[in-house]
Structure 1
């Protein structure tokens, strides 16, 4: 009876508007994955539904974990945070070992275990948010003491950052750095400490970006893709063609030309280019509007928290997911470098949608806890 009462209470206080927005984006993403990948899937796997079926399976698994995390108390993550950090470092070491790591496109970012393959960096994005939220929520009394109240998790972050660079994956490393940085900012750290850390962070990312010819090439080719339209600028040039031919209303669902082998990664990193070609600017505004709604709900959930840990956790999750949106859309439009960051809930990728759904499940749980507290107070 007690378990039934808890479930009913969670369902009563569930943020259904946020849940609907999440499900709509996931459903839309599944539709666009089929549209953007059907030709490639047929040519490579003799089935136009190959990627659609695989993503559908991951989506079902992700929905299960979404529901599960809604009912898991967030205090558990607080207790498990040290183990999650240790697990993160182990995964990042394993992915670099040839016996476990899988190389694709000159990057070793996946771990293969039997028939199961996943990208550990996706999980580490959430694990590091949990760890930072846990540490700084516990150190509020000494938050002004840099050595004991600020520095320790930053040393762990530096190790994680350097390990991810070995894959190499500067985009994910910078994304984790920025999300953890936002948690530090919101935790109440002194301004002079923030300024110092921000300077070190920017200089560090800049150094690693420009110290490698490969990374430098990826970061600078977006500025003038037409200078080498059949080389480094090929992907972005074809993205421009997709976006340009879509116009206001698009060419209709399934009407993309660029997905027919011209645009690389059409169903993954550049799925938004195909979406714009088929659904136009109208489709873009609807998608961005949904993301903005999710962001605003995430901010409201964080503001409604009375305890520091769930507040920082909600901030970190919301900021990281929205930063991914900005980076992906910026890359597709040529406003930012191409980093391989997927569009949350829409791009093809099992690890990505699984960890995004788990993150949203945690956010929904925090929201139900807030609403339950408010109802008790009234």
Structure 2
């Protein structure tokens, strides 16, 4: 009975739109991957079947998270951080971590690949929201009220860089930064931390030759169209070919071996080619809808922990989408960040859906607060 009462208070619009978007993502994964899957595995549905299984699992986790009181996560915040650190260390241990495309970011579990950095995204949001919600009285004290979580964040940031994965490390850094921004922290402290974050990002971006090559390609992809700029140039071709209405689902030419990572990092290019500007507008509309819903849920949250956690979840998903879309459009360097809800990848989809479940739970308690 209690669960039925909770279900009546769920933000049905957000729940339905997210579920429909996941279905759209599974369809687009199949459309973007079947040529490569057939050539590589002699099975056109290889990636589709895996993504479908992960989508079903993610929906189950979403409903599970939706009915668990969000305050429970705060109590386990230190354990989440500990688990994050342990798994991030295991990734870089020879024989345990799985290497692909010159990066070691995965752990193999029962034939499926688990990416610890995805869990780290959620764990750090919970930890930051929980810590700062309990330190409101000390937030003006930089040493006592601000620094402690930042030390943990710096350590996690370093472990992710070892993989190497500057994109995900930066995403976590800025998502946690948004939580801190919406506390009562002093402006001079914000300026100091933001400056340090930018310096750190620039330093690691130019330190590595391959990262520097990506930045160079982003600035002028046609200077080396057959080398470092190849992926972005073919993304441009996909977007241009799509026009207003696209070539139709399944009609992309670029996915036929021309556009690398067509079902992961650059799936939006395939969406643009097959559904045109209409499809692109629909995707952007979804993320805008999610952003508005997330901010409203945060504003109506029952307590400070719920407010900060809702802010962190909302901005992390939107920032991830922004980084991915910016790379596909050539507005930002290519970082390997996937598109939330749509790109192929089980770990990312499951954690993102858990985040939506938590957001929905915060909205349930927020409505209870309004009614009372």
TM-score tier by shorter-chain length is: over 0.9
Structure 2, unmatched stretches of 5+, are: none
Is the contact made by 1:89 and 1:160 (CA closer than 8 Å) also made in structure 2? yes
Say whether 1:26 aligns with 2:22: yes
* Distance of 1:17 and 1:297 partners within structure 2: 9
TM-score, length of structure 2 as denominator length: 0.99
Question: In the TM superposition, what is the alpha-carbon distance from 1:114 to its structure 2 partner?
Answer: 4.1
Query: 2:165 maps to what in 1?
Result: 169
Q: Deviations over 1:116-146 (max 9, x none)?
A: 3211101100100000000000001111111
Which residue does 1:278 correspond to in 2? 274
Cα distance between partner residues in 2 of 1:317 and 1:220: 31
List 4+ stretches of structure 1 deviating above 3 A: none
In structure 2, the partner of 1:208 is: 204
CA distance in 2, matches of 1:201, 1:6: 45
Find the partner of 1:60 among 51, 56, 61.
Answer: 56
Q: CA deviation at 1:306?
A: 3.4
2:76 alignment partner, SS class: helix
Aligned residues: 372
Q: Offset of 1:278 from its aligned partner?
A: 0.6
Q: CA RMSD in A?
A: 0.9
Shift of 1:115: 2.0
Give the aligned partner of residue 136 of structure 2: 140
Alignment partners' CA distance in 2, 1:335 and 1:203: 20
Correspondent of 2:315 among 309, 316, 319: 319
Give me the TM-score of the superposition, normalised by structure 1.
Answer: 0.97
Partner of 2:151: 155
Q: Is the 8 A contact 2:133 2:304 kept in 1?
A: yes
* Counterpart in the other structure of 1:109: 105
The answer to whether the 8 Å contact 2:31/2:249 transfers is: yes
Match of 1:298 in 2: 294
Question: Are positions 1:218 and 2:177 aligned together?
Answer: no
Segments of 5+ residues of structure 1 without an aligned counterpart are: none
The farther-off stretch of 245-254 and 108-117 is: 108-117
Q: Which of 344, 350, 363 is equivalent to 1:367?
A: 363
Of residues 35, 38, 41, the one that matches 2:37 is: 41
Q: Measure, in 2, the Cα distance between the counterparts of 1:243 and 1:182.
A: 32
Contact 1:100-1:113 at 8 Å conserved across structures:
no
Map of 2:230 onto structure 1: 234
Distance 1:114 1:98 in 2: 18
